[in-house]
């Protein structure tokens, strides 16, 4: 397939913060609009063809989040904007669609990324209460109305927590933590291994913060009830993290006998990330220097109850499409939904006996410890669902610049049983 | 039925469609708004005289206008200005009342279909119709603003408004002159329906013939509020409120209340007779004439559309996130400028955001904006420590520390970060714009943009030009100020520019008086009784004694001996008193924080006495006032002499909108003209003899005016 090259010109993100804290008052569109605004100003962009934004918790008020992001960013009203949803990989899905459109020559300049405010995911009335409201609306006579109201029972008011439902697989009935437990059990991943992995993620993230590794990718954001504070750094990484303190936490998803704890899982997080994509002609015309070129991407499905293994299949597919090997990758980002899940992917990549369970009979290739999530992963930095797919590409692109390395891959597992991966190349 | 009965005349267009007469108001040539003129009123009278006997031939009468966004903006302001005697004014209103009575007395259905501005006489005409229907346009505004010109509605408005919406509802509209949009007007019952302008002709009949019966609840409401006892009580309450708000300086609202109280329960003839007399008497007051001048000043600011090419400023930035920087960022954000606010530390940026947030929060509290808009406006601000986004702005306002060398360095650096057509300005209140301009390669794009504190409350902006400032830069800044709903004046560079320079003479002279032994409360009281928003010492506390001392020094250095500062502020500064900002100045402020409450704020600093000679010197109020006013008038004349501003009108605009010089005085120089050359001469001579030769030496400009027995105003 002949493709036109697609470049990442700039890549920016918000600081990421555990839900319910600093960014709780920043509605989803405002986790993205200012990122675009800055890139537009910095690169003096006059025409944007498309804004594609991943988001899973679609706020009732902003049904098409992307449109609000685009308009609030000050883009021309003629700009096409749409939102995409592929659960945990929504942000990557947005970038992959931007890649397709530019590579096919349909578009020249696209903003793609993801925003997620998990704090603001709603509580919902249950079906019984909703039915009651519906009956009440249809009631014509006072008698009908009283009859409808009489059917009320206090337990109708018990809310459904949208986020809880969203993190439970509707097909297999397991919640995400339980899928991680399943992989841990089947692959014999111990509690200790998981806690060590989580601690390692914090240590890497703290070191990265101290070395100002994220400075170029984060644009400070206004926050607070009075909108008079400025946040310029991720809040998740713990300087005082230790395997010992992690080992004291109770298993959350399988009380008593489980291994997955809050400490070795990613926290529920608010954040946004956005990249500027452009074609060759636009790059030349504006004398822009690209950060990277997108080489390939691949999405792949698997059984929902083992969704955590998604990156194995996605990376395998992306590498095959690009004609590359894992050993060609200088940096690797694998989203850390759960330590158990990330460890499972690492195990499967180097062991064809394991990967063959998912139909991959050759060895995909070992993921070197000094290449994976070098600045920490979602366990420390957080996982704003719709944003993470874009966030790991932002972080990867910047780290590749800093290390002056050639190729990198970013991959995530996707709730519902999928994986996504994208390969980029520094130019 | 034929169209020929009503000859179309110059100011009205009359059309008959399916038995309904449509009367459209036309634009008078040269005007942008439709207004009632003597000519259009006489056309209207002729038409109504012809119509009345044959009205039964028609199904109804509708008034409308062909001008989009303007039904009738009221009586032509020049007509009001020309009412130069009581009898002329009274005859004028009576004539108008008669014409509107003719509309009122028609037996066929009558209706005003209003799109856009419907104010003053325009609304009074509409009220004379049986129905008013207004368009849903955002431009639609209904109100009786006459009180703001120091008069009252004189064409039956004070009679028909209470009849339509009740006395109590009317009070608010009559006493404040505020405008209502269509939705609020409908809720109040001032209009009978809302209809999009595009569908006026389609729905006209439906509205014209619709029968409207009051519901039981409405009748009950009327019964509860429109009885004599409740009305008297409401009038009493209103009187107290008016007195508190106007301190008795403005006669119109009080006269309106008096007139209403007298007229309740009277018939139309009596009511209107009282109205026209009240109007006529108010129209002859000095306050009304002064307010009319303020109207003209404001109008002139808006109309001053220089034909120059302008830079369209879509995004702007402010350097420095202090109180002023935050306030300026707020202003920019409020007017959709997506501002950038740059400072050198995150903590400073947060202070600036706090200022902007406070301003928006106060609008939120008053329900001027919604929670959503509040968040959106705040998120439209980009707080930053670097210049990354500066290529996207067309205007930068520097509001950093008041230090010439720092400013020059920052400006030079800034110039390399912005595009060529970006206008660069400084919000300095005292430093030389000319000197600052030397730090720039392209100084033609540089000017001062002097905002007043607090930015959200002070309407004035001084645009300070230096010799190289290009006309394009000036015109662009002028347009920008209007765009952000501020009142700009163009002032040439010079110590203290316009407002602070004049103000300083007032503060300085008050200080001299205090040192001579006049009591602080006497001086403050005299200023307040003149109508100044606050006394000179209170003002110095607000500004900060350090700041006013610094400005005084700059003025003394730049303008010479008449600005020699009274050694008063030195005394206070020696004690470490800075005024309100650190809790102690001429007054005490509760614990240095804002929770002092109003009671605390009236406490004079007891330690002050020890610094001063015994405050036993007695002066008459007039002498005290002269001491403060004359130096200001003199300084204004120096300013005109030096060509710092174009004319006396600009001086007065600056004084009214910059320091709150009392509007009912018409402006500083308007007031001086009312004092008259005769008395001015006498007063100046006495003061230069008795007080100080230098400070009360008249400028050549003023001497010239006095010797020619002329005026500041043309």
Does residue A402 lie within any of the structural domains? yes
Please report whether residue B423 resides in a domain.
yes
pLDDT band at B11 (very low <50, low <70, confident <90, very high): confident
Q: Assess whether A139 and A273 both reside in one domain.
A: no
Answer yes or no: do B134 and B246 share one domain.
yes
Structure tokens given for B142: 């209904």
Q: How big is the A-B interface in CB pairs under 8 Å?
A: 61
Instruction: Give the pLDDT band (50/70/90) at residue A2.
Output: low
Task: Give the C-alpha separation, A227 to B377, whole Å.
Answer: 10
Give the mean pLDDT of B229-247.
Answer: 89
**DSSP letter at A338?**
B
How many CA atoms does the CB half-sphere of A95 hold within 13 Å? 40
Residue numbers in A near B381 (CB within 8 A):
222
Set of chain B residues whose Cβ sits within 8 Å of the Cβ of A212: none
- Number of structural domains, chain A? 2
- Answer yes or no: do B480 and B589 share one domain: no
Cβ neighbours for B620, distance < 8 A, ≥ 6 positions apart: none
Give mean pLDDT, residues B690-701.
Answer: 96
**Interface contact B389-A38, CB threshold 8 A:** yes
- Tell me, what CATH number does B625's domain have? 1.10.1040.50
Task: Looking at the structure, tell me whether residues A404 and A358 fall in a common domain.
Answer: yes
Decide if A144 is inside a domain. Answer: yes
Query: Within an 8 Å CB–CB cutoff, is residue B354 touching chain A?
Result: yes
* Residue B309 · residue B475 · CB < 8 Å: yes
Q: Is the pLDDT of residue B216 over 80?
A: no
Backbone angles phi, psi at B689, to 5 degrees: -80, -50
For an interface test with B, the pick among A38, A41, A225, A287 (most B C-beta atoms closer than 10 Å) comes out as: A41
The model's pTM is 0.91
pLDDT digit string, tens, across residues B38-89: 889 999 999 999 999 999 999 999 999 988 899 999 988 888 888 889 999 9
Asked if B353 and A40 come within 8 Å (Cβ–Cβ), the reply is no
**Which of the residue ranges B149-153, B257-261, B504-508, B610-614 would you say has the lowest mean pLDDT?**
B610-614
Phi, psi of A406 (to 5 degrees): -85, -55
Round to whole Å and give the CA distance between A31 and A8: 20
Instruction: Please say whether the beta carbons of A222 and B378 come within 8 A.
Output: yes
pLDDT at B237: 92
Is A51 inside a domain boundary? yes
* DSSP three-state, residue B127: helix
Q: Which long-range contacts (CB under 8 A, 24 or more apart) does B244-247 make?
A: B247/B528, B247/B531
Q: What secondary structure, in 3-state letters, does A363-388 show?
A: CCCCCCCCCECCCCCHHHHCECHHHH
CB nearest to A228's CB, from B354, B382, B388: B354
Asked if the structure places residue B658 within a domain, the reply is no
Same domain, B441 and B461: yes
Q: What DSSP designation does B310 have? A: -
What are the strands, taking DSSP E only, across B161-312? 193-194
Q: Do residues B667 and B294 make contact, with C-beta atoms less than 8 angstroms apart?
A: yes
Among B262, B284, B306, where does a domain finish? B284
Question: Which long-range contacts link A246-254 to residues 24+ away (Cβ below 8 Å)?
Answer: A246/A195, A246/A198, A246/A199, A247/A191, A247/A192, A247/A195, A252/A177, A253/A175, A253/A177, A253/A178, A253/A180, A253/A181, A254/A177, A254/A178, A254/A181
Rounded to an integer, what distance in angstroms lies between the CA atom of residue A111 and that of residue A19? Answer: 25
Q: Say whether pLDDT at B613 is over 90.
A: no
Which residues span the domain enclosing A131? 124-161
Q: Does B381 touch chain A if contact means CB atoms closer than 8 Å?
A: yes
**Residue B9 pLDDT:** 75
Same domain, A296 and A339: yes
- For residue A177, tell me if it sits in a domain: no
Neighbouring residues of B295: CB distance < 8 A, sequence distance ≥ 6: B77, B148, B149
Residue B451 lies in a domain: yes
Residue where a domain terminates, one of A132, A161, A190: A161
> Inter-chain contact B346–A230, Cβ cutoff 8 Å?
yes
Last residue of a domain, one of B494, B528, B561: B494
The two tokens of residue A126 are: 């249950």
| Contact present, A31 and A62 (Cβ < 8 Å) | no
Enumerate residues 142 to 171 of chain B having a beta carbon within 8 A of any beta carbon in chain A: none
Same domain, B31 and B107: yes
Shortest distance between the Cα of B198 and any Cα of chain A, in A, equals 26
Report d(CA B200, CA B275) in Å as an integer. Answer: 33
Flag if B353 and A34 touch (Cβ within 8 Å). Answer: no
Q: Which two tokens stand for residue B428?
A: 């300095």
A69: left (phi over 0), alpha (psi -120 to 50) or beta: alpha
Q: What token pair was written down for A305?
A: 């109850």
pLDDT band, very low/low/confident/very high, at B427 (cuts 50, 70, 90): very high
Statement to judge: residues B16 and B105 lie in one domain = yes
Mutate to test the interface with A, among B321, B370, B392, B420 (most CBs of A within 10 A): B392
Q: What CA–CA distance (Å, rounded) separates A57 from B545? A: 55
Instruction: Write the residue in B338, B383, B391 that is nearest to A230 by C-beta.
Output: B383
For residue B400, the domain's CATH number is: 3.40.50.720
Helices (H) and strands (E) in chain B, counts: 31, 17
Q: Assess whether B361 and B466 both reside in one domain.
A: yes
Test mutation, A77, A212, A226, chain B, max B CBs within 10 A: A226
Chain A residues at the B interface, defined by Cβ less than 8 Å, are 25-27, 30, 33-34, 37-38, 40-42, 44, 72, 74, 220, 222, 226-230, 232
SS3 of B65, please?
strand
d(CA A365, CA A367): 6
- Among A41, A220, A226, the residue with its CB nearest the CB of B357 is A226
Dist CA B266 CA B264 (whole Å): 5
Q: Is residue A306, in this structure, part of any structural domain at all? A: yes
Looking at the complex, report in whole angstroms how far the Cα of residue A402 sits from the nearest Cα belonging to chain B.
20
Domain count for chain B, please give it: 3
What span, in angstroms and rounded, lies between the C-alpha atoms of B180 and B177? 10
* Residues 483 through 522 of chain B touching chain A, CB cutoff 8 Å: none
pLDDT of residue B214: 73
Inside any domain, residue A157: yes
Tokens of B198: 């595009």
Please state, in angstroms and rounded to a whole number, the distance separating the CA atoms of residues B179 and B185. 9
- How far is the C-alpha of B539 from the C-alpha of B542, rounded, in Å? 5
Q: Which residue has the tokens 């004609």?
A: A323
Q: What is the mean pLDDT of chain A?
A: 95
Nearest to A42 among B349, B378, B389 (CB): B389
Q: Chain A: give the shortest CA distance to residue B334, in Å.
A: 14
Decide if pLDDT at B599 tops 50.
no
Complex confidence, ipTM: 0.90
Rg of chain A over all Cα atoms, to the nearest angstrom? 22
Which of B495, B422, B461, B447 minimizes the C-alpha distance to B327? B461
Identify whether the C-beta of residue A200 lies closer than 8 Å to the C-beta of residue A345: no
Residue B31: predicted pLDDT:
77
Question: A270 vs A54, A128, A138, CA distance in Å?
Answer: 13, 31, 39
Question: Does one domain contain both A56 and A137?
Answer: no
- Contact list in B for residue A227 (CB cut-off 8 A) is 353, 357, 374-375, 378-379
Same domain, A364 and A284: yes
* Distance of residue A72 Cα from the nearest chain B Cα, in angstroms: 8
Taking 80 as the threshold, does the pLDDT of residue A250 lie above it?
A: yes
Would the pLDDT of A128 be above 90? no
Placement of tokens 């039956």 in the chain: B156
B384 touches chain A (CB under 8 A): yes
- Residue B393's domain spans which residues? 316-494
The pLDDT score that the predictor gives to residue A77 is 96
Token pair 């679609």 in the structure block, residue: A58
Q: What does each C-alpha distance from A276 to A113, A393, B439, B699 come to in angstroms?
A: 9, 12, 37, 64
Q: Is the torsion defined by CA of B29, B34, B36, B41 positive or negative?
A: positive
Residue A282 predicted with pLDDT over 90: yes
| Residue A157 and residue A108 in one domain | no
Exposed, middle or buried: residue A111 (CB in 10 Å: 0-12, 13-18, 19+)?
buried
**Chain B CB contacts of A222 below 8 Å:** 353, 378-379, 381, 383
CA A77/CA A73 separation, integer angstroms: 11
Structure tokens at A249: 């936490």
pLDDT in tens, B277-292: 999 999 999 999 999 9
pLDDT given for residue B6 in this prediction: 74
Last residue of a domain, one of B434, B466, B494: B494
Backbone angles phi, psi at B638, to 5 degrees: -60, -40
Q: Which residues contact B258 (CB under 8 A, 6 or more apart)?
A: B278
The tally of CA atoms less than 13 A away on the side-chain side of residue B467 is 2
Do both A302 and A405 map to the same domain?
Answer: yes
In the structure encoding, which two tokens stand for residue A39, read together? 């890139």
Which among A25, A37, A72 has CB closest to B382? Answer: A37
Judge whether B301 and B294 are in contact, CB under 8 Å. Answer: no
Question: Within this chain, do residues B347 and B417 fall inside the same structural domain, yes or no?
Answer: yes
CB contact under 8 A, A222 and B346: no
End-to-end CA distance of chain A: 21
Put simply, the answer to whether A37 touches B357 (Cβ < 8 Å) is no
Sheet containing strand B20-25, edge to edge, reads B12-17, B20-25, B60-65, B110-114, B131-134, B193-194
Inter-chain residue contact B379 with A42, CB threshold 8 Å: no
Residue B305 pLDDT: 62
The verdict on A386 and A314 lying in the same domain is yes
List the beta bridge partners of residue A276.
A10, A111
* Lookup result for tokens 């119509």: B51
Cβ neighbours for A316, distance < 8 A, ≥ 6 positions apart: A298, A300, A355, A360, A364
Which one of A107, A137, A161 terminates a domain? A161
Dihedral sign, Cα of residue B416, residue B420, residue B422, residue B424: positive
Packing angle between helix B536-543 and helix B499-516, nearest 10 degrees? 120
CATH number at B139 reads 3.90.226.10
Residue B521 lies in a domain: yes
**What pLDDT does residue B460 have?**
97
State yes or no: pLDDT of B124 exceeds 80.
yes
Of chain B residues 275-304, which have a CB less than 8 A from chain A? Answer: none
Please tell me whether residues B137 and B103 are part of one structural domain.
Answer: yes
pLDDT at B601 over 80: no
CATH number of the domain to which A87 belongs: 3.40.47.10
As annotated, the active-site residues of A are 88, 383, 413
- The predicted pLDDT at position A124 comes to 80
Residues A45 and A130 in one domain: no
Q: Within this chain, do residues A62 and A100 fall inside the same structural domain, yes or no?
A: yes
Residue whose token pair is 């991680």: A180
pLDDT band at B257 (very low <50, low <70, confident <90, very high): very high
CA torsion B499-B504-B509-B515 (nearest 10°) is 150
Contact B388 A42 (CB under 8 A): yes
- Nearest alpha-carbon partner for B659 in B475, B512, B476, B530: B530
pLDDT of residue B4: 53
Tell me the pairing of strands A160-161 and B193-194: unpaired
Are residues A106 and A144 part of one domain?
no
Whether B116 and B172 share a structural domain: yes
Of A33, A44, A222, the CB nearest to B381: A222
Residue range B11-31: mean pLDDT, rounded: 88
B298 located within any domain: no
| Local structure of B198: helix, strand or coil | helix
* Res B306 pLDDT > 80: no
B429-452, pLDDT tens digit by residue?
989 999 999 999 999 999 999 999
3-class SS of residue B530? helix
pLDDT category at B593 given cuts 50, 70, 90 is very low
- A344 with A387, same domain? yes
CA distance A393 to chain B (A): 22
Say yes or no: B360 and B450 in one domain. yes
Question: How does residue B591 score in pLDDT terms, banded at 50, 70 and 90?
Answer: low
Cβ separation B382–A38 shorter than 8 A:
yes
pLDDT of residue B307: 65
Phi, psi of B588 (to 5 degrees): -105, 145
Residue A336 lies in a domain: yes
Q: Looking at the structure, do residues B14 and B162 belong to the same domain, yes or no?
A: yes
Closest by CA to A411, choosing from A329, A310, A325, is A310
Residue B339 has a CB neighbour count (10 Å cut-off) of 26
């Amino acid at each position: 397939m002949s493709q036109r090259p697609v470049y990442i010109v700039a890549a920016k993100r918000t600081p990421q913060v555990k839900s319910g804290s600093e960014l709780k008052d920043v509605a989803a569109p405002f986790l993205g609009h200012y990122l675009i605004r800055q890139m537009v100003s910095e690169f003096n962009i006059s025409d944007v063809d498309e804004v594609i934004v991943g988001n899973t918790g679609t706020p009732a008020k902003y049904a098409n989040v992307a449109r609000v992001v685009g308009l609030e960013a000050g883009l021309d009203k003629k700009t096409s904007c749409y939102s995409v949803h592929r659960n945990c990989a929504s942000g990557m899905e947005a970038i992959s669609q931007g890649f397709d459109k530019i590579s096919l020559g349909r578009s020249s300049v696209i903003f793609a990324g993801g925003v997620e405010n998990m704090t603001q995911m709603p509580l919902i009335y249950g079906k019984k209460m909703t039915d009651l409201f519906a009956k009440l609306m249809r009631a014509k006579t006072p008698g009908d109305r009283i009859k409808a109201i009489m059917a009320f029972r206090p337990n109708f008011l018990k809310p459904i927590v949208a986020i809880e439902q969203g993190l439970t697989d509707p097909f297999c009935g397991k919640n995400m933590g339980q899928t991680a437990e399943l992989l841990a059990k089947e692959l014999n991943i111990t509690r200790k291994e998981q806690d060590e992995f989580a601690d390692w993620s914090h240590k890497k993230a703290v070191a990265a913060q101290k070395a100002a590794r994220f400075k170029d990718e984060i644009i400070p954001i206004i926050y607070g009830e009075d909108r008079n504070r400025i946040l310029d750094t991720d809040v998740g990484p713990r300087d005082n993290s230790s395997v010992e303190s992690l080992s004291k936490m109770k298993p959350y998803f399988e009380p008593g006998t489980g291994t997955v704890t809050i400490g070795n899982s990613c926290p529920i997080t608010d954040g946004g990330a956005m990249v500027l994509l452009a074609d060759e002609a636009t790059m030349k015309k504006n004398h822009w220097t690209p950060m990277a070129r997108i080489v390939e991407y691949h999405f792949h499905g698997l059984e929902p109850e083992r969704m955590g293994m998604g990156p194995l299949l996605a990376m395998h597919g992306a590498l095959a499409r690009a004609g590359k090997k894992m050993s060609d990758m200088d940096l690797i980002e694998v989203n850390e939904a759960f330590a158990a899940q990330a460890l499972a992917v690492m195990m499967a990549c180097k062991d064809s006996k394991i990967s063959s369970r998912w139909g991959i009979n050759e060895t995909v290739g070992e993921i070197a410890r000094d290449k994976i999530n070098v600045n920490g992963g979602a366990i420390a930095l957080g996982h704003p669902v719709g944003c993470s797919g874009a966030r790991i590409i932002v972080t990867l692109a910047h780290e590749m610049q800093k290390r002056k390395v050639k190729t990198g891959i970013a991959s995530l597992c996707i709730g519902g049983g999928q994986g996504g991966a994208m390969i980029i190349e520094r130019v | 039925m034929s169209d020929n009965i009503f000859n179309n005349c110059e100011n009205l267009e009359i059309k008959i469609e399916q038995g309904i007469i449509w009367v459209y108001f036309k634009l008078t040539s040269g005007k942008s708004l439709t207004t009632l003129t003597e000519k259009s009123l006489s056309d209207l009278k002729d038409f109504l005289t012809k119509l009345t006997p044959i009205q039964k031939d028609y199904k109804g009468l509708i008034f409308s206008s062909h001008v989009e966004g303007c039904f009738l903006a009221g009586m032509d302001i020049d007509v009001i200005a020309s009412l130069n005697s009581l009898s002329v004014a009274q005859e004028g209103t009576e004539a108008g009342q008669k014409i509107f009575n003719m509309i009122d007395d028609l037996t066929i259905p009558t209706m005003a279909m209003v799109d856009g501005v419907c104010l003053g006489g325009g609304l009074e005409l509409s009220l004379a119709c049986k129905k008013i229907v207004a368009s849903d346009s955002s431009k639609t505004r209904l109100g009786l603003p006459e009180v703001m010109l120091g008069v009252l509605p004189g064409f039956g408005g004070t009679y028909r408004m209470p009849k339509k919406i009740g006395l109590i509802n009317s009070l608010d509209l009559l006493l404040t002159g505020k405008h209502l949009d269509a939705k609020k007007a409908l809720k109040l019952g001032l209009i009978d329906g809302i209809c999009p302008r595009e569908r006026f002709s389609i729905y006209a009949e439906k509205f014209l013939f619709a029968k409207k019966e009051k519901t039981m609840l409405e009748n009950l409401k009327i019964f509860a509020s429109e009885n004599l006892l409740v009305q008297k009580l409401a009038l009493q309450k209103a009187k107290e409120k008016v007195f508190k708000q106007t301190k008795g300086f403005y006669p119109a609202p009080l006269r309106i209340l008096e007139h209403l109280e007298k007229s309740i329960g009277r018939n139309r003839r009596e009511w209107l007779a009282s109205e026209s007399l009240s109007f006529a008497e108010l129209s002859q007051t000095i306050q009304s004439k002064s307010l009319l001048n303020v109207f003209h000043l404001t109008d002139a600011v808006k109309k001053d559309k220089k034909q120059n090419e302008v830079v369209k400023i879509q995004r702007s930035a402010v350097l420095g996130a202090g109180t002023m920087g935050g306030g300026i960022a707020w202003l920019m954000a409020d007017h959709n400028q997506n501002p950038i606010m740059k400072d050198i530390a995150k903590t400073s940026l947060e202070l600036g955001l706090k200022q902007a947030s406070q301003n928006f929060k106060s609008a939120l509290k008053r329900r001027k904006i919604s929670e959503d808009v509040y968040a959106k406006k705040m998120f439209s601000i980009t707080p930053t420590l670097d210049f990354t986004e500066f290529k996207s702005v067309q205007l930068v306002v520097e509001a950093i520390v008041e230090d010439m060398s720092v400013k020059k360095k920052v400006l030079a650096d800034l110039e390399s970060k912005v595009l060529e057509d970006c206008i660069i300005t400084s919000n300095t209140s005292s430093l030389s714009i000319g000197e600052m301009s030397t730090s720039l390669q392209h100084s033609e794009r540089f000017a001062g943009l002097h905002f007043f504190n607090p930015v959200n409350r002070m309407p004035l902006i001084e645009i300070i030009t230096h010799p190289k400032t290009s006309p394009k830069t000036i015109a662009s800044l002028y347009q920008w100020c209007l765009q952000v709903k501020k009142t700009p004046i163009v002032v040439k560079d010079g110590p203290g520019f316009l407002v602070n320079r004049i103000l300083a003479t007032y503060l300085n002279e008050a200080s001299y008086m205090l040192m001579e032994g006049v009591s602080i409360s006497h001086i403050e009281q005299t200023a307040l009784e003149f109508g100044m928003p606050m006394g000179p010492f209170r003002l110095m506390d607000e500004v900060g004694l350090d700041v006013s001392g610094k400005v005084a020094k700059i003025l003394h250095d730049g303008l010479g001996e008449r600005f020699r500062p009274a050694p008063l502020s030195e005394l206070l500064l020696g004690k470490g008193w800075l005024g309100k900002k650190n809790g102690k100045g001429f007054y005490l402020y509760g614990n240095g924080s804002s929770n002092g409450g109003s009671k605390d704020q009236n406490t004079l600093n007891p330690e002050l006495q020890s610094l001063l000679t015994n405050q036993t010197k007695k002066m008459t109020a007039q002498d005290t006032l002269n001491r403060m006013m004359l130096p200001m008038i003199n300084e204004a004349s120096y300013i005109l002499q030096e060509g710092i501003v174009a004319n006396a009108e600009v001086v007065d605009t600056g004084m009214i909108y910059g320091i709150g010089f009392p509007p009912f005085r018409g402006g500083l120089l308007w007031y001086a003209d009312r004092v008259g050359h005769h008395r001015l001469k006498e007063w100046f001579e006495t003061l230069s003899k008795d007080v100080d030769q230098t400070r009360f030496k008249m400028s050549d400009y003023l001497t010239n005016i006095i010797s020619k027995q002329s005026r500041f105003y043309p």
